[in-house]
């Protein structure tokens, strides 16, 4: 497409520039420690997809002070990725932005606090920019950059590139970095597991199963429309148990009832850990698993970051936009809603066939 060629040309000229190697910062605002804010008020999976971008920013500008403007829970994410993120600011939400609550009385003081920061640049990677671009402009940064939807408001054509709805999120963010003149990093995810995480796991599960002997089944998803039926997870879990894997049901406290439903529908025994592990302890459990079977959620991205084979059930555009990029170690099964309702056995067989092929290809075949 012509605009892609134009953007690539602009990015190449920027990267080859001696005077201003990174168009991300306005030349007049450059300093020994530039202040960059990244606006991405999203959940775990979406933030994990941001890690390659954060890694590229740190490599390109090692002295920059990077602030993540995100949901309150993301303070723990910022601490875990302290090599890339220096500070976290709670975003109070904003009317019209989906997937979050809105604390209206806090919005004026939040915007005032952002203006006091005097950021050199705010990077808007929350989405296509319909609401987020005008919001970010109120932060008063020297420079804003990010995405905009073609035909809609574009704050600055030199620093905002068109939003590609059909592009995978990690690749779209990499394109933005290239457009802004930041040398690309690898697309690999990462999730640091600490000794504290492993100790937290042992506190909840003093005798964990042997490494490679178990499968983690995660039946939850934030949106009900993205959840494969509990009864189908139960049937797959039974088959994996019969093939020699211990079944561990996992999820958040909000998903404990759903995991209990899967356990009740199973014919074989399972250990239900839903609601009993924090994110770090769960990652410590996951890093020793043989396999993960889940919906298209943040758990799939943790598995990808840890290099643990996974099979994810994807609905709608999830396969195209969010599935892990390493298709050898991580497989996705696209579920058509009509098939899930009308031919559940057919979908289950597709999942099991995908599991068997995945484990054979990664050198860990089922019995």
Mean pLDDT, range 336-346, rounded to an integer: 65
Full 3-state SS string of 36-90: EEEECCCCHHHHHCCHHHHHHHHHHCCCCEEEEEECCCHHHHHHHCCCCCCEEEE
Torsion-angle region of residue 149: left (phi > 0), alpha (psi -120 to 50) or beta? beta
Beta partners for residue 146, in sequence order: 124, 160
- The enclosing domain of 281 has a CATH number of 3.40.50.2000
Tokens of 188: 């690999």
- Report the largest interatomic distance among the alpha carbons of the chain, rounded to a whole angstrom: 67
pLDDT at 9 over 60: no
Q: Which helix (H) or strand (E) holds 299?
A: helix 298-306
Distance CA 282, CA 252 (A): 10
Q: Answer yes or no: is 279 within a domain.
A: yes
Q: What is the mean pLDDT of the chain?
A: 88
More reliable by pLDDT, 26 or 182: 182
The 8-class DSSP code of residue 288 comes to: T
Q: Which tokens go with 54?
A: 């954060």
Q: Please check whether residues 29 and 70 belong to one and the same domain.
A: yes
Torsion sign across C-alpha atoms 154, 117, 170, 183: positive
Question: Does some domain include residue 154?
Answer: yes
Each residue's pLDDT tens digit, 107-117: 999 999 999 99
Domain boundary among 148, 179, 210: 179
Residues belonging to the chain: 367
Same domain, residue pair 202 and 167 = no
Same domain, 233 and 283: yes
Q: Give per-residue pLDDT as tens, 208-225.
A: 999 999 999 999 988 888
Q: Are residues 127 and 228 in the same domain?
A: no
Both 102 and 218 in one domain: the answer is no
Percent of the chain exceeding pLDDT 70 equals: 90
Count: domains in the chain: 2
In a domain, 187, yes or no: no
Nearest one of 58, 80, 88 to 305, comparing CA atoms: 80
Return the pLDDT at 340.
53
pLDDT digits (tens, 9 = 90+) for 122-156: 999 999 999 999 999 999 999 999 999 999 999 99
Question: With bands split at pLDDT 50, 70 and 90, how would you rate the model's confidence at 245?
Answer: very high
Residue keyed to tokens 């079944």: 247
Does residue 55 register a pLDDT over 90? Answer: yes
Q: Rounded CA gap, 300 and 140, in Å?
A: 37
DSSP 156: -
Q: What is the pLDDT of residues 304-327, one digit of tens each?
A: 999 999 999 988 766 677 788 888
Whether residue 342 sits in one domain with residue 277: yes
CA distance 108 to 102: 12
> What is the pTM for the complete model shown?
0.88
Tokens of 114: 């952002």
Residue 226 per-residue DSSP state: G
First-to-last C-alpha distance (Å) of the chain: 49
């Amino acid at each position: 497409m012509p605009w892609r060629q134009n953007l690539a040309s602009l990015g190449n000229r920027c990267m080859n520039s001696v005077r201003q190697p990174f168009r991300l910062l306005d030349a007049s605002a450059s300093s020994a420690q530039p202040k960059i804010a990244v606006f991405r008020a999203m959940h775990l999976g979406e933030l994990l997809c941001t890690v390659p971008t954060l890694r590229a920013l740190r490599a390109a500008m090692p002295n920059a002070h990077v602030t993540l403007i995100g949901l309150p829970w993301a303070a723990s994410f910022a601490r875990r990725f302290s090599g890339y993120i220096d500070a976290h600011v709670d975003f109070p939400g904003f009317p019209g932005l989906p997937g979050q609550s809105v604390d209206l009385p806090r919005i004026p003081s939040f915007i005032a606090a952002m203006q006091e920061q005097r950021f050199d640049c705010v990077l808007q990677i929350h989405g296509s920019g319909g609401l987020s671009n005008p919001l970010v402009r109120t932060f008063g940064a020297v420079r804003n950059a990010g995405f905009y939807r073609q035909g809609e408001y574009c704050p600055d054509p030199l620093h905002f590139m068109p939003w590609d709805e059909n592009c995978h999120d990690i690749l779209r963010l990499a394109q933005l970095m290239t457009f802004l003149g930041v040398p690309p990093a690898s697309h690999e995810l990462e999730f640091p597991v600490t000794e504290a995480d492993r100790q937290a796991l042992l506190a909840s599960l003093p005798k964990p199963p042997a490494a490679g002997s178990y499968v983690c089944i995660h039946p939850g998803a934030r949106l009900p429309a993205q959840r494969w039926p509990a009864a189908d997870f139960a049937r797959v879990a039974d088959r994996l148990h019969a093939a020699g894997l211990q079944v561990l049901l996992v999820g958040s406290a909000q998903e404990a009832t759903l995991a209990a439903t899967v356990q009740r529908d199973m014919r074989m025994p399972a250990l239900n850990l839903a609601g009993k592990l924090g994110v770090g302890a769960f990652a410590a459990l996951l890093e020793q698993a043989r396999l993960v079977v889940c919906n298209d959620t943040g758990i799939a991205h943790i598995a990808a970051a840890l290099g643990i084979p996974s099979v994810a059930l994807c609905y709608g555009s999830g396969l195209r936009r969010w599935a892990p990029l390493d298709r050898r170690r991580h497989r996705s099964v696209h579920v058509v809603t009509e098939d899930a309702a009308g031919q559940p056995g057919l979908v289950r067989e597709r999942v099991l066939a995908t599991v068997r092929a995945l484990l054979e290809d990664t050198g860990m075949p089922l019995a």
